[in-house]
Chain A
Amino acid sequence: MAKITYVDWGGRSTTVDVANGWSLMQGAVSNGVEGIVGECGGSCACATCHCYVDPERLAELPAPDDNELTMLDLAAAEVRPNSRLSCRINVSPTTEGLVVHLPETQG
């Protein structure tokens, strides 16, 4: 279990406990956090779980694979250097306290 904070485009922040092994996307949709859609269900096939990871902690996370990078190009909102797909980031003790900002739109 790790505390994850999701900050929506309007600046409203929600902190929830997410089980180890769950993705940041699953943590959001199963806890009613708006701003992440996850339309494909977590198979890295839709780019509707786009998020911006706290830049200072980006290096702590495993780097995105080719599939994620290809899909990120299709994200509806601006893609930044700290853009990730939240279905590809799994919660673990190292993600405790992670803050992710959500984009203006998921398309």
Chain B
Amino acid sequence: MLHFDPYSPAVDADPFPYYKRLRDEAPCFWSEEAQMWVLSRYADIVSAGQDWRTYSSASGNLMTELPNRAGATLGTTDPPRHDRLRALVQYAFMKRNLEGLAEPIRAIAKRAAEDLRGETTFDFKDFSAKFTVRVLMAALGLPSGEEAIVDEDTVREKAVLMVQSDPRTRSKGPEHLAAFEWMRDYAAKVIAIRRAAPRNDLISNFASAEIDGDRLDEREVLLTTTTLIMAGVESLGGYMMMFAYNLASFPEAREAVVMNPEWLANAVEESLRFNTSAQRFRRRLMRDVELHGQTMIEGDFVCLAYGSANRDERQYPDPDRYDIARKPRGHLGFGGGVHACLGASIARIATKIAFEEFHKVVPNYSRVADQLPWMPSSTFRSPLALELAVHS
């Protein structure tokens, strides 16, 4: 009997054997535990991601959704509203408009890397957390330095907590909901500060933006800002943890990118494919769909398992090998279709710069532990801590 429980700690740690059985034996599978359908093959997930009229995001996109969020953010609206909302923030995240951030990002990376000099073992989270929060503060225009209204560690802790879920109750626990409320209140304070004295930054612009003459409603401004902070801090941080995990686990790949930093871009793409941090998102059916002999009914929720699509042998030969020469075009490490990740360019740029600077200080390292503490999350996958040993 096949089971797939996205709340299980075993799936948090290693979902791939489960995915393989799903792809081979039940590519359109009803999960009793998740109470939704699970699609696991690359082709099916690309098709679903493209067909937003059938696979709607308007009832939420996180596997375990946060209260009152659906319908008010980019990831939880469908076109045409989605496209108009996205047009307001997209400009700031386009590659050509991020060039000005490269030097500030490098300075942040250098400082965070220097803090590691002389260490013999350390938790990579110390580096990724510091780096990620400061980059996001710079990119979004969050108050920082003397202007800061909260400390950096708290922003990161809350962002990481709010994407988690309770494996026993299969829902958000009180601590996760409290973190979400904290982040929403923080976003509200930042919006108020920027409205009172607007600057040329993303949140100032977004807080006063209009769509076709209509202002965004307050819930959209608030929850989209909350989500940008959460997604930025947690997803970039989680992704960097996964990338470090891959490089620490596969010495040949690490040596190659340390020797030839121009290989980092390929290694980043392969890491997005091989150990996707956004493992699963969900959609809701707007009509009945027949697929692989199953009938999914209008109103049912459907999980798009990006992490499985990226390991589908029907698309990527020898998928369980981390091969930095692969160039895995079309991977779903940033999702796909109209909801493909807004932050893809900044994530690529920031990760590349971070590891260039990290490797200048720590070029030779390996994992201390075989077993890692994996984040309890039905949507995202990354280790909560990653102890690394430094070698000379």
Partners in one complex: yes
Give Cα A89 to B195, complex, Å.
39
Q: Is the CB of B330 within 8 A of A29?
A: yes
Give Cα A44 to B83, complex, Å.
9
Q: Is the CB of A41 within 8 A of B46?
A: no
Q: Is the CB of B330 within 8 A of A43?
A: no
- Let me know if B216 is at the binding interface, CB within 8 A: no
A43-B94 contact in complex given A23-B50, A26-B46, C-beta closer than 8 Å: no
Contacts of A44 in B (CB 8 A): 83, 338
Q: Is the CB of A42 within 8 A of B337?
A: yes
Partner of A21, one of B42, B47, B330, B345: B47
Give Cα A44 to B87, complex, Å.
10
Digit string of A30-60 for contact with B (CB within 8 Å is 1, else 0)?
A: 1010000011111111100000000000000
A92 to nearest B CB, angstroms? 12
Contacts of A32 in B (CB 8 A): 329
Give Cα A19 to B47, complex, Å.
8
Q: Is the CB of B342 within 8 A of A30?
A: no
Give Cα A32 to B345, complex, Å.
22
- Give residues of chain B (34-61) contacting chain A, Cβ–Cβ below 8 Å: 42-43, 46-47, 49-51
Give Cα A46 to B87, complex, Å.
12
Give Cα A19 to B83, complex, Å.
24
Chain A residue nearest to B49 (CB atoms) is A42
How many chain A residues touch B (CB < 8 A): the figure is 21
Give Cα A21 to B94, complex, Å.
26
A6 to nearest B CB, angstroms? 13
Q: Is the CB of B329 within 8 A of A21?
A: no
Partner of B344, one of A30, A39, A67: A39
Q: Is the CB of A40 within 8 A of B50?
A: no
Partner of A26, one of B50, B93, B95, B338: B50
Could you list 7 further interchain pairs (A-B, Cβ under 8 angstroms) beyond the known A42-B337, A67-B87, A90-B50? A26-B336, A38-B330, A42-B50, A42-B338, A43-B339, A43-B340, A45-B94
A-B contact pairs, 20 of them (CB 8 A): A19-B43, A21-B47, A21-B50, A22-B47, A26-B330, A26-B336, A30-B42, A30-B330, A42-B49, A42-B336, A43-B86, A43-B338, A43-B342, A44-B83, A45-B93, A45-B340, A46-B95, A46-B345, A65-B83, A74-B94
B interface list, Cβ under 8 A from A: 42-43, 46-47, 49-51, 83, 86-87, 90, 93-96, 315, 329-330, 332, 334-342, 344-345
Q: Closest 6 interchain pairs by CB?
A: A41-B340, A29-B330, A43-B340, A30-B330, A29-B329, A41-B334
